[in-house]
Amino acid sequence: MKEACGVVGVVAPGRDVAYACYDALYALQHRGQESAGMATFQNHQITVVKDNGLVSHVFADTTLRALAGSMVIGHTRYSTSGSANWTAAQPVYRSAGESGFALAHNGNLTNTVALAESAGLHLTTMLSDSDLVAELLGHAVLEGATLPEALHDVLRRAEGAFSMVVLEAGAIHAVRDPHGFRPLCVGRLGEPDAPEGWVVASETPALDVVGATFVREVEPGEMVTITESGMTSTRLLEPAEGPTRLCIFEFVYFARPDAYLMGHQVHSVRRRMGERLATSSPVEADLVMGVPDSGIPAAEGYAKASGIPFGYGLVKNRYIGRTFITPDQAQRAAGVRRKLNPLRDTIEGQRLVVVDDSIVRGTTTRALVRMLREAGAREVHLRISSPPFVWPCYYGIDTPNREELLAATHTLEEMREFIDADSLAFISMEDLRTAVEVGDACCDACLTGNYPAPTPVVIGQSRAHW
Ligand code: SF4
C-alpha cells in the first residue's frame, strides 16, 4: 500500500510562513514522496513552487526566501490518481478570481466521470481528480461565485475522500469531506487570548514542528476559513449519516506514531493492537520483533502481553528509493532487501515472532521471511496487526486489483505456505476496533467490503477510472 498525500495551510502575519510550511511538509513527508509544492499569497499575487522529489530537494533556502507572504498552503504527493509526472504536482493553480486560487488535496474522488460530464469536460484532459476540482471551481468563479460558494457548489456534488486546503487572495479555506476519510486538524500559533496565526495540517506532528498548539480536528463537512483576522467555521457540506469514517489504516500504518487522531495517539493504538494479537494468537518463541516502522510499536505490545523479550531484528535504510518505484514482483522483492537488513547476531538460532502491519500482495512479506531465514532464524511466526486485506481502496490509498490481493484469493493456510512462515495470524476485526477505541467510527472497507461512500466501479471487477 502507498500513502495518500499530506496537506498544510499556514496564516501567520509577520512570520516567514514559507519556512513554517517547509517544516510542516517535512513532518508529513511520509505521506508522499513523489512531489512537493507550496503556494503563497502576497501583494495580490499567488506564487506556486512545486517539483518532483522530496521536500528537501524541491525547496532550497533561496526558494523559501523568495516565497514571501503571510499565508501559504503546501502539499506532499503520492499519486493515488492521475499522472505521477511533474504537471500533476500540487498545489494546482487557476487564475479565476481576484488573484486566482491554489488547491492542495489529500484523498480520491470516486465520481470524477459524472463531475467532469456535468461541466462538459473530458477526463482525459484533466491531470488528476484535484485538477478536475480546480477546473470546476474555476468555472464557478468565472461565472461570478465567490470561492466559498464555488467550493460548496462543486464539493456537494463530489463523492469520495477529500481533505483540501485552498488559498485565495487573503484567505485559506480547509475542507473535509462529509465522511472524514482523511485526517485534517487545526492548530493555533500564540496564546489562546492573543493568537498569532493558525495552521491546518493532515497530522498533528506538523503542528508541533511549527510550535502550534492543537485546537481540534476539522469536522466532516466543515470548512474552516483562516484570514489575518482569525479563524471562522462554516458547515459547508452536510455530514454523512452515521459516524465519521476516518481511514482505519491511518492508525495501522499511514499516520506517524506521534500523531493524535480522534484523541488517540497512534503509537499507543499500535501497541494495543500487538497486545490483542498476543492474546488471540500466542506462540512459543524466543524473540518478538517488528517490521519498521509501524510494526515496531505493535511488536512492543505483543512482547509486553506475551512476556517474550522484544528486540530489534531489522535495520531500515531510510535513504533509498521506496520499493513501489520498482514495477515488477521480482524487483519488488529486491527492493525489500535494499530497504531492510537483518541483524544476524540478534536473529541467528532464534524462534521469531515478527509483527508487521499488513499483507497486500504477499511478495514483500515472502521476501522478508526468506531474508530472516537466510540470517539464521530457526522459526518465523508472522503476526499481522490488520485483518486480511481483501478489497481495494477507492478513497485515496493506492491498492492493487482485488485479484492481486493475496488474502482475497488464498486461504490462511495457502497464504502461510506462499510466504513460507512457520505460522501466520491476523488480528481480528473486533480486536482491531477495540485497539483503535474509535474503530466503530472508522472506514474499514478494504477489510470488510462495507464501503461507506459510492465506489466508481462494480466492486471487485476493475480499477477506478484514474
Ligand atoms: S478502504 Fe481501507 S485504506 Fe481505504 S479509506 Fe477505507 S480503511 Fe482506509
The predicted structure's pLDDT at residue 197: 97
The predicted structure's pLDDT at residue 234: 97
Answer yes or no: are the C-beta atoms of 75 and 86 closer than 8 Å. Answer: no
Please give the average per-residue pLDDT across 262-286, as a whole number: 98
Same domain, 35 and 145: yes
Same domain, 313 and 356: yes
Residue 409 lies in a domain: yes
Same domain, 141 and 274: no
Omega of the bond prior to 91 within 30 degrees of 0, cis?
yes
The predicted structure's pLDDT at residue 399: 80
Q: Does 393 qualify as catalytic in the annotation?
A: no
CATH number reported for the structural domain that contains residue 410 in this entry:
3.40.50.2020
For 106-146, the three-class secondary structure string (H helix, E strand, C coil) is EEEECCHHHHHHHCCCCHHHCCCHHHHHHHHHHHHHHCCCC
Name the percent of the chain lying above pLDDT 70: 92
What's the structural domain count of the chain? 2
Residue 176 lies in a domain: yes
Same domain, 40 and 86: yes
- Which grid coordinates are listed for 326? 520498482
Residue in the block written with cell 522483492: 333
The predicted structure's pLDDT at residue 463: 41
Instruction: Give the pocket of ligand 1 (CB within 6 Å).
Output: 181, 247-249, 393, 395, 397, 443-446
Task: Evaluate if residue 348 carries a pLDDT over 90.
Answer: yes
CATH number reported for the structural domain that contains residue 144 in this entry:
3.60.20.10
385 CB neighbour count, 10 Å cutoff: 33
Give the residue numbers spanning the domain of 305. Answer: 269-448
Residue 404 lies in a domain: yes
Same domain, 354 and 395: yes
Task: Determine the distance separating the centroid of ligand 1 and the alpha carbon of 418, expressed in angstroms.
Answer: 25
The predicted structure's pLDDT at residue 400: 78
Enumerate residues 6+ apart whose C-beta is below 8 A from 15: 70, 189, 196, 197
Q: pLDDT digit string (tens) for 433-446?
A: 999 998 789 999 99
Task: Evaluate if residue 332 carries a pLDDT over 70.
Answer: no
Ligand 1 atom at minimal distance to the Cα of residue 250? 8
Q: pLDDT digit string (tens) for 179-213?
A: 999 999 999 999 999 999 999 999 999 999 999 99
Same domain, 303 and 352: yes
Band (pLDDT 50/70/90 cuts) for residue 458 is low
Same domain, 215 and 285: no
Same domain, 56 and 201: yes
Residue 263 lies in a domain: no
The predicted structure's pLDDT at residue 461: 46
The predicted structure's pLDDT at residue 323: 43
CA 347 to chain centroid, in Å, comes to 32
Task: Determine the distance separating the centroid of ligand 1 and the alpha carbon of 430, expressed in angstroms.
Answer: 16
- Which grid coordinates are listed for 419? 510466504
Task: Determine the distance separating the centroid of ligand 1 and the alpha carbon of 308, expressed in angstroms.
Answer: 32
Pocket test for ligand 1, best of 395, 429, 442, 444 (most atoms within 8 A of CB): 395
Residue 299 lies in a domain: yes
Residue 139 lies in a domain: yes
Same domain, 360 and 406: yes
Same domain, 199 and 297: no
Enumerate residues 6+ apart whose C-beta is below 8 A from 104: 5, 7, 8, 37, 39, 73, 74, 75, 90, 91, 92, 130, 164, 165, 166
- Supply the mean pLDDT for the chain: 91
Task: Evaluate if residue 83 carries a pLDDT over 60.
Answer: no
Residue 200 lies in a domain: yes
Same domain, 237 and 310: no
Same domain, 353 and 215: no
